[in-house]
Amino acid sequence: MNPPSFSPKSRPVLLWGAIFLFVNGFFVAEVPQATRPELAGVSAAFVLVLWAPSAWILALWLGWKRATLVLGTLGAFAVGIESFAVVTGWPYGHFSYGEKIGTKLFGLVPWTVPFSWPPLVLGAAALAARITPKHPLIGAVAILLGFDLVLDPGAVQQEFWAYQAGGFYFGVPFSNFCGWIISGLIGVWLFSKASASRSQIPLPLVSSVTLILAFWTSVCLFTSLWIPALIGFGLLTLIWCQILGST
């Protein structure tokens, strides 16, 4: 069975989804009430919706049992390392989640964490398999770091989480990016081991991260976070070049 691929019908669906999320990002940036704590359930619902496309593609590629194992492993790892970071400050630096992001597991991290991080790993791995095929692990971690250069400043600006000592990069400390390298290496390695016996990683695994980037690039743009917004547009361009060039 061939791995899932983008079809002439699926590309426009993803494009319109990205446009919809970009418009949503504008309203989140311009209307502070849109992310008040009472609406945390809406944010959680968005996380699940954005998780679904890549989870579906993964299941089509690996089968439901293995896909569930992969997603469960990545999700559990995300909860574990972020909980450890909130308590100890390692590896991301001392930070805490705000009230806008919903109910917390163990009083530490949002219950949506196991759904928000795996799509980033899947998307980075799918891109790296094409852009840096000789060094997929290094490439995927570098791409993951690029994602965070967009997501973290936007989330800090929206008070979804905050770093105790602030940071040089729009409130984000250098330690956070070191942490992303560490967690990214582990996450991509786990994914590569689970999918090693399969054919090339399907490009449609970038679907979720495309939507996520569209939203956060918009938030950064309309809150005058110019550098993160520029990086976001660059990453979206890179993704769409791969999508349009795929068969």
Give the pTM: 0.96
Q: Would residue 180 count as lying in a domain?
A: yes
Phi, psi at 91, each rounded to 5°: -100, 0
pLDDT value of position 49: 97
Tokens in use for 244? 């349009």
Distance spanning both ends of the chain, measured CA to CA:
16
Write out the residue range of the structural domain in which residue 127 sits: 10-245
Q: Which of 56, 64, 209 is CA-nearest to residue 122?
A: 209
> Is 182 within a domain?
yes
The reported pLDDT for the residue numbered 247 is: 63
Q: Please check whether residue 131 lies inside any domain of the structure.
A: yes
Asked if the structure places residue 172 within a domain, the reply is yes
**Confidence (pLDDT) at 155:** 97
Sites in the chain below the pLDDT cut of 70: 1, 247
Does residue 5 lie within any of the structural domains? Answer: no
Say if residues 136 and 129 touch (Cβ distance below 8 Å).
yes
Sign of the CA dihedral with 44 first, then 49, 54, and 59 last: positive
Supply the pLDDT for residue 240. 97
- Count: domains in the chain: 1
pLDDT of 1: 59
179: in domain: yes
Q: What is the pLDDT of residue 201?
A: 94
Within 8 A by CB and 6+ apart from 202, the residues are 3, 4, 5, 57, 60, 61, 126
Asked whether residue 1 is assigned to any structural domain, the reply reads no
Is 3 within the bounds of a domain? no
